[in-house]
Structure 1
């Protein structure tokens, strides 16, 4: 039995047009998404902003009702059997949501009570220690930094020991120390048998942690493969260098530019030489030239560009 099963999940919103066209239109936030996540997997859900990742998680958590299709947690329908489905699920949301009237320990005790878990202090102590919150246990939630509030959200999601953990952008805007602490703890839980579903824009995290990945675009699944297979499918290596000048227009559509760093996909040595020759001909001086294998970010951009609105045939089943 899969830990999570999405079965043709669609979510449509009606929206009113502007003054020039007041007629209602339909926004398809999710359009027939289907895949399974097996028990014990560390699974990545990737996509650009607006792809439908958070909507899909909201359907799973029971926060949003799907227009059609079903989502199940360990076989329990999130609508028909919502109480049991939610007991099996721990969700860390994107937003920092907290109750300003309680300290950290009281917050976790309250969360335990929502799931009917009593005498949970030993596990709460372990969460506090593992997430670097032990010295903040008596602090009011309002006194915590954004990073510390994020740690408490993780602890809240785990306080009832759910077998399925959903992390929606858990490291957005947090420091390196929290990232390392969080991933060490979550990786340990995953090794103990917990299923983890992760959404992140830090693709190096997904590449390092996730055994299998689904990619969404415009509410549709456009890829569903093992991470290693996605990386093997990359059609190119990458030429990386630093450049102080403006990149020639002929490269603009291909290049990933971050400050001085330019990265260009290259299918073979001949194409690399063509790039370098064109740069020399343009009178440009490049520094720190290197050739590397394509990473998950390269694959992600290639998949998004290649598939557009059309889902892969294999993206509808695990």
Structure 2
């Protein structure tokens, strides 16, 4: 009977990631001949062909592709289990791994993390922005512990807690023609350059909740990853942006900006923190969520 081992999955994952035995061997701290031998041994042990050669490259077979998918799901969970066990052995409370699925939420998160760390000296926080706009998979795959998102995707395995209400506003520079209007209409944005984060249009509320229902599109869209550069561009008249009102107010001392309500009723949003249902008993994790929702309630931070 074939016995699948963890090191089999690690080898399959590294060879697929690096694209060659030489590079994969370096990552695995093996010599290239030793890895070649291990590759042949895996196929013999499992009784199935995992790779086929195409020139100098190794390409996964159908069985190999399935094993790679399995490795991508299981190996992060092995790593998490080992990390948690090491923390228990060392008397630590743990590392809280936070995934960001919201560009402007990073500034809000800083205001939460700092006082939290003061009260939980044995907890580390690791913020991972590589999970922007793909965080549900990372949360389900145990690669992160908390997902910060304005757009929760409810699943039976996950729980989302609203922690912060805010309003999206149009941001313009001091010399912009719209700076003195009370609220903007979709038609007024038809001739504008809209500066956004690098996010698909279907995930931008300014499109889905405001422009598209009116059949309007901006003259041009520019994507910028950093908030500071975005606001520099807006303040110099290179376009307009849509950001949380609280974030615009925080930047008010640095840039001459004006926040305008979007439509008569505005666009109301919430920041949610998502976690796995199975982590309900992880005290430092659940206390972080409680504190984020009620930052003035210090009782929730007692370790």
State whether TM-score is above 0.5: no
TM-score, normalising length from structure 2? 0.27
TM-score, normalising length from structure 1? 0.26
Which is helix-richer, 1 or 2?
A: 2
Which is strand-richer, 1 or 2?
A: 1
Structure with bigger gyration radius: 2
